[in-house]
Homo-oligomer: A and B are copies of this chain.
Amino acid sequence: MATITPARRQATTALLDAAEELLVEVGHAGVTVRALAERAGVNQGLVHYYFGSMDELLLQTLERFTARLIERQRALYAGPEPFVEKWRTAMRHLTDDLESGYQKVWLELQAMAWNHAGMRDRVRQVLYTWVGVLRPAFQDGLAELRIDEERLPADVAVALVATFNQGIILEQLSGADSGHRLLLDWIDEQIASAERRAAGPPRGG
């Protein structure tokens, strides 16, 4: 019986989906065996039979979610379109992901990880993978915009973007806004004007 039965695959998927839904709706403290089972429409014994423990289920929830996160990021920056376009897509995600609950899931998982060594390692690894995707994309992007490595090193740009993005996400979850629209519009204008300069004279003296 090497094959996993369709019923089993469906049940495990339903449980992982339910975990994400509960993270969005009530936070990680509300993810209990019974709530999961009810939401997924399965018996609560399945959680232990399939996953062994709550911990393992949550770890797999983290694995599945972060795999998606990285995949989307990789796909975005692997595209052939100009850098400014990728940037705008990424910034649009900031808004879209709030509505979809994506960010809530991610930060609830992070909050769990603050007090869970195993999850913390995984979260750190995800961030490093994310930065690893960002770095070459920004090296190319800055070159494309003819912004000197000396004026703004790619590593610095990556750190700045990574951190202010996470800050925006954090503020959004508290329903706060220190001026996101203003900031994003300003950056967009900086990139746009750099693009205009880059398209202009091959390089002034």
Tell me the A residues contacting B by CB distance below 8 Å.
Answer: 26-30, 104, 107-108, 110-111, 113-115, 120, 123-124, 127-128, 131, 153, 155-156, 158-160, 162-168, 170-171, 173-176, 178-180, 182-183, 186
Please name the 8 residue pairs, one residue from A and one from B, whose CB atoms are nearest each other, closest first: A163-B167, A159-B179, A166-B167, A27-B115, A167-B167, A159-B183, A162-B178, A164-B164
Chain A contact residues: helix, strand, loop or mixed = helix
Bound CA span A158–B171, Å: 14
Question: Inside 8 A of A171's CB, which chain B residues have their CB?
Answer: 127, 162-163, 166
Judging by beta carbons under 8 Å apart, are A176 and B128 in contact?
yes
Question: Inside 8 A of A170's CB, which chain B residues have their CB?
Answer: 110, 166-167, 170
Residue from A26, A28, A131, A171 having most chain B Cβ neighbours under 10 A: A171
Question: Inside 8 A of A166's CB, which chain B residues have their CB?
Answer: 166-167, 170-171
Bound CA span A160–B182, Å: 10
Judging by beta carbons under 8 Å apart, are A186 and B156 in contact?
yes
Question: Inside 8 A of A158's CB, which chain B residues have their CB?
Answer: 178-179
Bound CA span A104–B170, Å: 14
Residue from A27, A163, A176 having most chain B Cβ neighbours under 10 A: A163
Judging by beta carbons under 8 Å apart, are A131 and B183 in contact?
no
Judging by beta carbons under 8 Å apart, are A162 and B167 in contact?
yes
Judging by beta carbons under 8 Å apart, are B175 and A120 in contact?
yes
Judging by beta carbons under 8 Å apart, are B128 and A153 in contact?
no
A174-B124 CB under 8 A given contacts A114-B107, A182-B155: yes
- What is the minimal beta-carbon distance from A27 to any residue of chain B, in angstroms? 4
